[in-house]
Amino acid sequence: MAWGGHHDQVSAFVLPVNLVDSVRSDPSPQRDTWLDTLPGVVAEFADRWSLEVGLPYQPGGRCAWVAPARDRAGRDLALKVAWQHDEALDEADGLRAWAGNGTVILHNSATVASTSILLLERCHPGTPLGGALPEPEQDEIVAGLLRRLWQAPTGGHPFRPLQIMCDAWVAQFRQRLADAPGALDSGLARAGIEMFRTLPATADRQVLLCTDLHAGNILAAQREVWLAIDPKPYLGDPTYDPLQHMLNCERRLLTDPVGLAHRMADLLDLDSDRLVSWLFARCVQESVDQPALRNVAIRLAPH
Ligand SMILES: Nc1ncnc2c1ncn2[C@@H]1O[C@H](COP(=O)(O)OP(=O)(O)O)[C@@H](O)[C@H]1O
Ligand SMILES: [Mg+2]
């Protein structure tokens, strides 16, 4: 591993390629400005928390600069400096509520303007589940982690209800449809929007959700075989939570979406009709940008 004092980092600051790619594809100048602040923030927190910081993980994620770090006590940690987009607002509080039970442990956190800085337990070797095991085995690991994440106590922090995220998506979806009229059958669009309204409101229990658990956000570790990273905590219907993993399982999603929903519902003791409805809503929403999902939405549509 390459270690450098933070002064070396400032003179030749290395960026994760996925982060560069995502900032480039964002037309607003806001995130370019944010990228310029990164070397200063990393140096400031390396100093404040007495860390030696290595080179960032590659190819990395799309919203954060993450690198291995070591503190004065010699602990192996990871420093995450993230663009604080809306869904990630409660990442630190969620990790505190989970307290390492299925997720990485949070050792320290801070917020500076629209940047969140997290000092995390390091996953070693850190191999993502996605490249390590075939999908049917990933299903079981995702389900095992979700069952545990749903047990977290939620009293200490006012996590936002899932309805808030669904409302934001509906607003975004309407805007995208207005920009691309005819991109989607209007009946299908209305039915999807209706699901985003009714499903959060009719859940029979409310739990702390990860909302972004997928095989890229589950890393091989030592304290446990697999640990979750990068949660976007909300409070709501557990049936929502397997969706991000399912949306990533492209071949099964395109060939047998109902079978995939039944499989995950079985593993998680969830109502499979309800999971089909959630999957329908997400496929409608995503199909504006991913036309292949339109047929999936049609197959899942309520009769
Ligand atoms: N605690 C950790 N231990 C080891 N590697 C990590 C850790 N957290 C993140 N990473 C690495 O950094 C990458 C990006 O982190 P992530 O939290 O998923 O950010 P993003 O929000 O950009 O997706 C991960 O894919 C992984 O390679
Ligand atoms: Mg991630």
- Which of 66, 100, 121 is at the close of a domain? 121
23 C-beta closer than 6 A to ligand 1: no
Structural tokens at position 112: 């500076």
Q: What confidence tier does 182 reach under pLDDT thresholds 50, 70, 90? A: confident
pLDDT at residue 303, as a whole number: 81
Residue 169 within a domain: yes
Alpha-carbon distances of 32 from 21, 27, 193, rounded to whole Å:
11, 10, 33
Distance 116 CA to ligand 2 centre (A): 14
| One domain for residues 33 and 164 | no
Residue 163 within a domain: yes
- Which of 121, 141, 166 is at the close of a domain? 121
Atom of ligand 1 nearest to the CA of 18: 22
54 C-beta closer than 6 A to ligand 1: no
Count of structural domains, the chain? 2
Q: Residue 180 pLDDT > 60, yes or no?
A: yes
Residue 198 within a domain: yes
Residue 127 within a domain: no
Structural tokens at position 287: 């199909």
The answer to whether the CB of 119 falls within 8 A of the CB of 77 is yes
| One domain for residues 167 and 59 | no
| Structural domain containing residue 216 | 132-300
61 C-beta closer than 6 A to ligand 1: yes
pLDDT, averaged across the chain? 94
| One domain for residues 109 and 207 | no
229 C-beta closer than 6 A to ligand 1: yes
Domain of residue 233, CATH code:
3.90.1200.10
| One domain for residues 165 and 293 | yes
Residue 126 within a domain: no
pTM, to two decimals = 0.95
| One domain for residues 7 and 114 | yes
| One domain for residues 167 and 100 | no
| One domain for residues 92 and 11 | yes
161 C-beta closer than 6 A to ligand 1: no
How many Cα neighbours within 13 Å face the side chain of 104?
27
| One domain for residues 268 and 175 | yes
Distance 217 CA to ligand 2 centre (A): 5
- Tens-digit pLDDT profile for residues 126-172: 999 999 999 999 999 999 999 999 999 988 889 999 999 999 999 99
The answer to whether the CB of 68 falls within 8 A of the CB of 76 is yes
Q: Residue 249 pLDDT > 60, yes or no?
A: yes
Distance 191 CA to ligand 2 centre (A): 30
Residue 38 within a domain: yes
| One domain for residues 81 and 151 | no
Closest residue by Cα to residue 279 from 298, 297, 256:
297
Single-letter code of the amino acid located at 43: A
Q: What confidence tier does 11 reach under pLDDT thresholds 50, 70, 90? A: low
- Tens-digit pLDDT profile for residues 21-35: 999 999 889 999 999
Buried b (16+ CB within 10 A) or exposed e, 39-67: bebbbebbeebebbbbbbbeebbbbbbbb
Percent of the chain at pLDDT > 90 equals 90
| One domain for residues 77 and 197 | no
> 3-state class of 250 per DSSP?
helix
Domain of residue 31, CATH code:
3.30.200.20
| One domain for residues 63 and 156 | no
Distance 229 CA to ligand 1 centre (A): 7
Q: What confidence tier does 3 reach under pLDDT thresholds 50, 70, 90? A: low
Rg (CA), the chain: 20
| Nearest ligand, CA 244 | 2
Q: Residue 6 pLDDT > 80, yes or no?
A: no
pLDDT at residue 10, as a whole number: 46
- Which of 121, 155, 180 is at the close of a domain? 121
Residue 27 within a domain: yes
| Spatial CB neighbours of 216, under 8 Å, sequence gap ≥ 6 | 128, 129, 130, 248
| One domain for residues 114 and 29 | yes
Residue 208 burial by Cβ neighbours in a 10 Å radius (0-12, 13-18, 19+): buried
Residue 185 within a domain: yes
Residue 132's CB: how many other CB atoms inside 10 A? 16
